[in-house]
């Protein structure tokens, strides 16, 4: 990483010193709602000659999210591990339609993102996992990813939950939340038109894992 940073700095294509953090000059909230605030921000960027350049940016200050691809590996009635995945469908205002996706939601204040992932799975599908049992689940954590770094700090933590033991409980939707969920095969999952970028990244990560395990 250091070598790449040095090569970029030596390219001479910018007079900004990118080894120094931006300095916040001012911040003004313009609009606020339940899950985000639109903010006008001004930052000072340090130049390589010791000066500063001030830039204006509009930021959508968004709550952190968690997304989970749920993989059921519990034993079926024939004693053979199931190999199926949880898919959901609900209305999304961005594409203005009923779209396929994975279990996802916002991290509540003070909540750990992994806890949020398991909570969203339970609320949206009724899948309950006893995490105190070390044999119940294996978690692959793939990091935190920004949806569009040029305009928002919206970031989601991505997990694949490999379930060995779980129970079916009731769903717990918000008053204006309507979600369908079903178990599908791997071939079905990869043929479904899932357009959410983070969900697609999780499926790509799981594709690599499955190829390596084959």
What pLDDT digit, counting tens, does each position of 174-191 carry?
Answer: 899 999 999 999 999 999
Predicted TM-score (pTM) above 0.75:
yes
pLDDT at 127 (0 to 100): 98
Lowest mean pLDDT among 67-71, 75-79, 159-163: 75-79
Please state the rounded mean pLDDT for residues 30-53: 96
pLDDT, position 12: 74
Q: Residue 207 pLDDT more than 80?
A: yes
Residue 93, pLDDT > 80, answer: yes
What is the widest separation between alpha-carbon atoms in the chain?
Answer: 71
User: Domain 65-213 falls in which CATH fold?
Assistant: Nucleoside Triphosphate Pyrophosphohydrolase (3.90.79)
Confidence of residue 1 (pLDDT cuts 50, 70, 90): confident
pLDDT at 79: 85
For residue 78, pLDDT over 90 is answered with no
Query: What is the pLDDT at residue 214?
Result: 86
Nearest alpha carbon to residue 83 among 72, 91, 92, 96: 72
Look at residue 84 in the predicted model and tell me its pLDDT. Answer: 98
Residue 87 burial by CB count (10 A; 0-12/13-18/19+): exposed, middle or buried?
buried
In the prediction, which pLDDT does 143 show?
97
Please write the tens of the pLDDT for every residue from 153-182. Answer: 999 999 999 999 999 999 999 899 999 999
10-39 per-position pLDDT tens digit: 887 889 999 999 999 999 999 999 889 999
2: pLDDT strictly greater than 80: no
User: What's the half-sphere exposure (Cβ side, CA atoms, 13 Å) at 169?
Assistant: 16
Structure tokens at 116: 């949020």
Q: How far apart are alpha carbons 5 and 108 in whole angstroms?
A: 35
Residue (of 55, 56, 61, 57) closest to 38 by Cα position? 61
Q: How many residues does the chain have?
A: 214
Helix%, strand%, coil% for the chain, nearest 5: 20, 45, 35
Q: In the chain, what are the domain boundaries?
A: 2-61, 65-213
């Amino acid at each position: 990483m250091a070598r790449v940073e040095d090569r970029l700095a030596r390219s001479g294509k910018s007079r900004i010193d990118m080894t120094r953090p931006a300095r916040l000059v001012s911040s003004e909230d313009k609009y606020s709602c339940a899950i985000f605030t639109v903010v006008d921000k001004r930052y000072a960027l340090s130049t390589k000659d010791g000066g500063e350049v001030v830039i204006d940016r509009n930021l959508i200050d968004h709550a952190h999210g968690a997304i989970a691809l749920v993989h059921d590996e519990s034993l079926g009635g024939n004693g053979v591990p199931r190999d199926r995945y949880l898919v959901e469908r609900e209305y999304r205002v961005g594409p203005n339609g009923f779209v396929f996706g994975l279990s996802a939601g916002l991290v509540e204040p003070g909540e750990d993102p992994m806890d949020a992932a398991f909570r969203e799975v339970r609320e949206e599908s009724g899948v309950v996992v006893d995490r105190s049992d070390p044999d119940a689940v294996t978690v692959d954590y793939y990091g935190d990813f920004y949806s569009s770094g040029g305009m928002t700090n919206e970031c989601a933590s991505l997990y694949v939950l490999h379930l060995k033991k779980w129970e079916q409980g009731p769903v717990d939707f918000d008053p204006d939340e309507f979600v369908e969920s079903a178990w599908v095969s791997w071939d079905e999952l990869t043929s479904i038109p899932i357009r959410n970028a983070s969900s697609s990244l999780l499926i790509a990560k799981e594709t690599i894992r499955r190829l390596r395990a084959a």
